[in-house]
């Protein structure tokens, strides 16, 4: 399972793990889309993510556009994955 | 240019940037799987794409375009398939240097009308092999076939899980839009294959560029050459795809002592010498004196069509038109590059006179590109080659197919032939995958022993001169 969530009144943290390739990302998308409460922060914890696909990058960007930087961010990416966001010019999505 | 057009270009670049980011995670094995899928798709569609390109551009002929597509797919793939292009690519303990290959980022691939689908297959293969996304910018007269070639390659790449948008294409753009795209700060490199103006724009954009130059290839048939063979090879080359390759021969240079034999052989092999009136008629349709360049309408046309355009009667079965000329320059328009089966013919007094004529041709719009010689005299071949300013000097082979590489020699197969600084390019190489990498070098500590022995203090004494320092540095301790 690539997704474990932790939720409280203030925020939802999605702990993702492994290789978020195209198929896994497509399967994860409806799961992630369940967290629609605009009052809560949505945080993707990337500490166990080894690889992200174009599809998952798009999901992240979509969440950022929907929720803004105060309500969505990605934390603790491994160096390889951090570099992906830097090259893509999406470092604004990363926050610790 | 309005805001909407700017936004469209920004979106293309943003998608390419995302693709570059994802691609950065791929290992060699994944990368090679994608490249293999694209090569196979290109090769499987070689005939369909060739027919589309010939029909749409109305240049060349589909059979030769099939050969070009096959070279772009199979020969390029065979050349790059074992190359290491990801991560650590070399580790030399003695020098203490470890090399790491990094992708360069989004590439804009400018595509010429003369070789559209083959250039696309070639550029996509070398871009993907180096994990770089590529944006195809087709020529307006070959848009449909270009987009189809790019689409086929993209589908194949996706079948092996390549990053989304790793191959994109644009439709017709205004000059302003092209400039905006070329100057985009997120674009890493322009692979500019096309006319001089376009290549100049690429170099002027501020974005690094690998470009090409115009050719005006002299072919010198030296007295020791095998004349029937040389003539056969020149005709094979100059008529290939109706002369659309920029490395094709533009002028034959022949010493008087063998010129009668060469002429006879040319006629025997179905070349036709134009008389002065026919020469003028062809010149009118082949060259614009105003812009001092060949006419776009003549490029890649058959002898028959050129005859019709010029209103001259060319006997049936003729493969090549020969124009006898006495001097090189703008006064003789057909001494310039004409990408069609029209070849200038110069008679010279001796070796030196021949080389002088070839220098004139070489410097008349073809500097840095290619030159060709047929000879079995090694010394003369070398003397000739040193005098030429050409990235490729082709010996005893057809220059079109020879310069492209891998068929008649071991040059790298390429559809982007560098012309060096005289051709306003950064390299004389046949451009390939290794030009699309940033090479990082890890350097381990390896002290310069000679420096250690000599020490730095010696430099502080002003009375010690360069000769003494040279001796001290090179002393055998």
CATH 3.40.605.10 domain position(s) in chain B: 3-212+431-438
pLDDT in tens, B264-281: 999 999 999 999 999 999
* ipTM score assigned to the predicted complex: 0.94
| pLDDT over 80 at A2, yes or no | no
Q: Is the pLDDT of residue B347 over 80?
A: yes
Looking at CA atoms only, how far is residue A8 from chain B in angstroms? 32
Per-residue pLDDT reduced to its tens digit, B80-92: 999 999 999 999 9
Chain A positions touching B33 (Cβ under 8 A) are: none
Does the pLDDT at position A1 exceed 60?
A: no
Work out the minimum CA distance from A45 to partner chain B, whole angstroms. Answer: 19
Interface of chain B against chain A, CB under 8 Å?
14, 17-22, 24-25, 105, 161, 163-165, 186
Kindly determine whether residue B21 and residue A21, on different chains, have CB atoms separated by under 8 Å. Answer: no
pLDDT over threshold 60, residue B208: yes
SS3 content of chain B, % helix, strand, coil (to 5): 45, 20, 35
Nearest-CB residue to A22 (from B18, B161, B165): B161
CA separation for the pair B128, B82 (Å, rounded): 14
| pLDDT reported for residue B2 | 86
Tokens of B268: 């025997």
Report the chain B residue with the minimal C-alpha distance to residue A84.
Answer: B21
Q: Residue B174: what pLDDT?
A: 86
Which architecture does CATH list for B217-410?
3-Layer(aba) Sandwich (3.40)
Active-site annotation holds for B246: yes
**Between chains, do B22 and A21 touch, taking CB under 8 Å as contact?**
no
The predicted structure's pLDDT at residue A36: 83
The β-bridge partners of B443 are: B97
| Secondary structure (DSSP) of B256-299 | HHHHHHHHHHHHHTTEEEPPHHHHHHHHHHHEETTTTEE-TTTT
Select the residue of A51, A55, A90 nearest B25 (Cβ to Cβ).
Answer: A51
Contact of A75 with chain B, judged by CB distance below 8 Å, is answered with no
Distance, CA of B20 to chain centre: 26
Distance from the Cα of A87 to chain B's closest Cα (Å) equals 5
- The long-range contacts involving A57-62, CB below 8 angstroms and separated by at least 24 positions, are A57/A84, A57/A88, A57/A90, A57/B18, A57/B21, A57/B22, A58/B18, A58/B164, A59/A25, A59/A28, A59/A29, A59/A32, A60/A90, A60/A93, A61/A90, A61/A93
Q: Give the distance from residue A51's alpha carbon to the nearest chain B alpha carbon, in angstroms.
A: 7
**Domain annotation for chain A: domains and CATH numbers:** 3-93 (3.30.750.24)
Spatial distance between the Cα atoms of B423 and B365, rounded to a whole number of angstroms: 9
Is-contact B355 B233, C-beta < 8 A?
no
Share of chain B above pLDDT 90, in %: 93
Q: Do A89 and B19 touch (CB under 8 A)?
A: no
CB contact under 8 A, B18 and A83: no
Catalytic, out of B166, B246, B358, B419: B246
Class of domain B3-212+431-438 (CATH, top level): alpha beta
- The structure tokens listed for B290 are 């105003």
Radius of gyration from C-alpha coordinates of chain A:
12
The Cα B357–Cα B364 span in angstroms is 10
Portions of chain B given CATH number 3.40.309.10: 217-410
Cross-chain residue pair A84–B19, CB shorter than 8 Å: no
């Amino acid at each position: 399972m690539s997704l474990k969530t932790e939720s409280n009144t203030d925020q939802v943290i999605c702990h993702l793990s492994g290789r978020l390739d195209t198929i896994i990302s497509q399967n994860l998308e409806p799961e992630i889309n369940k967290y629609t409460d605009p009052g809560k922060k949505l945080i993707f914890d990337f500490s166990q993510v080894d690889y992200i696909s174009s599809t998952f990058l798009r999901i992240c960007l979509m969440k950022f556009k929907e929720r803004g930087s105060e309500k969505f961010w990605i934390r603790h990416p491994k160096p390889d994955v951090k570099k992906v966001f830097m090259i893509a010019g999406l470092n604004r999505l990363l926050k610790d | 240019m309005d805001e909407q057009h700017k936004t469209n270009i920004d979106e293309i670049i943003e998608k390419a940037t995302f693709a570059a980011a994802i691609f950065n995670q791929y290992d060699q094995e994944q990368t090679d799987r994608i490249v293999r899928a694209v090569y196979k798709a290109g090769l499987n569609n070689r005939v369909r794409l060739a027919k589309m390109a010939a029909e749409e551009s109305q240049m060349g002929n589909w059979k030769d375009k099939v050969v070009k597509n096959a070279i772009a797919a199979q020969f390029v793939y065979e050349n790059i398939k074992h190359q290491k292009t990801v991560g650590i690519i070399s580790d030399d303990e003695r020098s203490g240097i470890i090399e790491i290959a990094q992708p360069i980022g989004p590439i804009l691939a400018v595509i010429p009308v003369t070789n559209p689908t083959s250039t696309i297959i070639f550029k996509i293969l070398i871009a993907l092999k180096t994990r770089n996304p590529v944006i195809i910018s087709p020529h307006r007269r070959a848009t449909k076939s270009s987009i189809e070639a790019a689409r086929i390659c993209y589908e194949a790449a996706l079948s092996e899980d390549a990053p989304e948008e790793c191959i994109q294409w644009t439709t017709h753009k205004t000059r302003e839009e092209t400039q905006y795209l070329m100057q985009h700060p997120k674009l890493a490199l322009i692979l500019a294959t096309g006319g001089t103006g376009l290549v100049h724009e690429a170099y002027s954009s501020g974005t690094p560029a690998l470009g090409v130059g115009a050719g005006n290839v002299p072919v010198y048939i030296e007295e020791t050459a095998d004349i029937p063979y040389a003539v056969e090879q020149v005709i094979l080359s100059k008529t290939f795809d109706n002369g659309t390759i920029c490395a094709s021969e533009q002028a034959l240079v022949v010493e008087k002592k063998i010129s009668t034999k060469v002429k006879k052989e040319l006629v025997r092999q179905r070349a036709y010498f134009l008389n002065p009136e026919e020469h003028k008629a062809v010149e009118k349709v082949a060259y614009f004196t105003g812009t001092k360049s060949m006419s776009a309408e003549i490029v890649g046309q058959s002898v028959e069509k050129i005859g019709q355009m010029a209103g001259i009667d060319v006997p049936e079965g003729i493969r090549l038109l020969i124009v006898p000329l006495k001097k090189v320059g703008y006064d003789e328009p057909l001494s310039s590059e004409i990408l069609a089966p029209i070849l200038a013919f110069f008679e010279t007094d001796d070796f030196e006179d021949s080389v002088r004529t070839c220098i004139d041709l070489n410097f008349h719009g073809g500097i840095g590109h290619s030159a060709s010689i047929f000879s079995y005299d090694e010394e003369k071949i070398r003397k000739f080659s040193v005098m030429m300013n050409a990235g490729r000097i082709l010996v005893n082979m057809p220059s079109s197919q020879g310069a492209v590489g891998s068929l008649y020699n071991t040059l790298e197969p390429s559809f982007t032939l560098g012309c060096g600084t005289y051709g306003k390019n950064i390299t004389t190489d046949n451009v390939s995958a290794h030009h699309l990498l940033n090479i990082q070098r890890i350097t381990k500590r390896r002290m310069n022993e000679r420096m250690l022995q000599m020490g730095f203090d010696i430099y502080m004494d002003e009375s010690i001169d360069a000769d003494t320092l040279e001796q001290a540095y090179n002393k055998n301790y």
